[in-house]
Amino acid sequence: MIRILFSLFFLVSTIIWSQSEYEPSEAHPFGQPNPKAPKEILDFAPLIGKCNCISQTRNQDRTWGEPNKMTWEFKYIMNGMAIQDQTLKADGRHSGSIRQFDADSSQWYVHYYSSIRATPVLSSWKGSKKEGKIILYRKQKAPNGTDGFSKLNFYDINDNGFKWLGEWVDTNETISFPTWKIECVRQENTEQLFDEELIRAEAKAFSDAYLRQDYEAIAKAYTDNAKIFPTNAPIIKGYEAIKKRWSGSSGYTPIEHEIIPEEIVILGDTAHDYGIYKGKNKNDDGTEITYEGKYVVIWKKVDDQWKMYLDIWNRIKK
């Protein structure tokens, strides 16, 4: 009798264990893919785990809003047969979804929920992975009534993180309007992402100072031993000389200025970036002139603040 009870206990324990062996555990905190799941369960494998992200959405005036910090976590659920993710955002607008692959239709089905409000029917998207991108669609009309889709894109997926874009597209995808963008890196690589955002913020602060003609703030954006390389001019070195160079312009008032980094590379306490700058000046005679140029900047981190060490730029002739 004891042997029978022991055998039954062992059998039940084995069944229970086999039903949950791929669930999140101490050894595998984000679970594991079930070998019996469709092979497409591995489409999201590079995303499994936790990332720190920067999220931006459109303002009503169509400009991009301020960056919002968030975490995005993916894990296997239902004993490795599906995937669940959740986002925790600094602004308190949290969300999550359940992702299941249907082998019959060869489609991912994604059901979305949010902390903003409870709903009896979850919004859903469907799609698949193509050419390294996971693309999902949901029918959605534009504000003017045009038929189209809400399109979600996971792209640039690699071991360090991924990027995500939410956009509205028309039925032929000839018209596209991005509404939400997110850039994520795995938590062990988070410092680089935030340093990039700090550099972008410093670039914006420089433009703001230039527009209000705050030449002291401009000079303080550089290191004490900085050098700048203006077009058709000798190298200018040091705080006072740089301040004098920027304050020496006359005959116009800047009314628009924007710096657009195309690439930022962080190397410890040094970084470099290059990109485009553009703006508009109003001359004293009332005429306006627009311009565009290219630049390269070497940055150094000084007391936890990124400052420009070398700055070279020149106009693009049109």
pLDDT digits (tens, 9 = 90+) for 43-59: 999 999 999 999 999 99
Categorize the per-residue pLDDT at 191 as very low, low, confident or very high, splitting at 50, 70 and 90: low
pLDDT digits (tens, 9 = 90+) for 122-180: 999 999 999 999 999 999 999 999 999 999 999 999 888 999 999 999 999 999 999 99
Write down the mean pLDDT value for the chain: 90
For residue 2, tell me if it sits in a domain: no
For residue 235, give both structure tokens: 């190298």
- Same domain for 218 and 88: no
- Same domain for 302 and 227: yes
Find, among 38, 170, 51, the residue nearest to 108 by Cα: 38
Find, among 215, 202, 276, the residue nearest to 250 by Cα: 215
pTM, two decimal places: 0.59
The DSSP 8-state label assigned to residue 225 in this structure reads: E
- CATH number of the domain that residue 128 is part of: 2.40.128.20
Residue 190 has a pLDDT of 60
> What is the length of the chain?
318
Categorize the per-residue pLDDT at 2 as very low, low, confident or very high, splitting at 50, 70 and 90: low
CA distances to 191, 237, 313, 318 from 227, rounded to whole Å, are: 27, 5, 12, 28
For residue 80, tell me if it sits in a domain: yes
Residue 13 has a pLDDT of 40
- Same domain for 160 and 239: no
Find, among 68, 24, 70, 69, the residue nearest to 48 by Cα: 24
Task: Please say if the pLDDT value at position 10 is more than 60.
Answer: no
221 with 202: CB under 8 angstroms?
Answer: yes
Task: Please say if the pLDDT value at position 113 is more than 90.
Answer: yes
pLDDT digits (tens, 9 = 90+) for 244-290: 999 877 789 999 999 999 999 999 899 999 999 999 999 999 999 99
Find, among 129, 65, 61, the residue nearest to 93 by Cα: 65
Provide mean pLDDT across the span 72-94. 94
For residue 194, tell me if it sits in a domain: no
The amino acid sitting at 56 is: Q
Provide mean pLDDT across the span 107-131. 94
Provide mean pLDDT across the span 14-21. 58
For residue 46, tell me if it sits in a domain: yes
**Which residue range is the domain that position 300 belongs to?**
212-315
Question: Is residue 111 classed as helix, strand or coil in its secondary structure?
Answer: strand
- Same domain for 162 and 73: yes
Question: Is residue 199 classed as helix, strand or coil in its secondary structure?
Answer: helix
Strands 252-267 and 270-283, sheet pairing:
antiparallel
Strands 305-315 and 68-77, sheet pairing:
unpaired
Task: Please say if the pLDDT value at position 194 is more than 90.
Answer: no
Which residues on neighbouring strands pair with residue 64, listed in sequence order? 58
The amino acid sitting at 273 is: D
For residue 143, tell me if it sits in a domain: yes
Percentage of residues of the chain with pLDDT beyond 70: 92
Provide mean pLDDT across the span 61-74. 91
For residue 88, tell me if it sits in a domain: yes
- Same domain for 238 and 163: no
Provide mean pLDDT across the span 217-238. 94
Categorize the per-residue pLDDT at 183 as very low, low, confident or very high, splitting at 50, 70 and 90: very high
Cβ within 8 Å of residue 59, ≥6 positions away: 65
Categorize the per-residue pLDDT at 242 as very low, low, confident or very high, splitting at 50, 70 and 90: very high
- CATH number of the domain that residue 217 is part of: 3.10.450.50
Domain count, the chain: 2
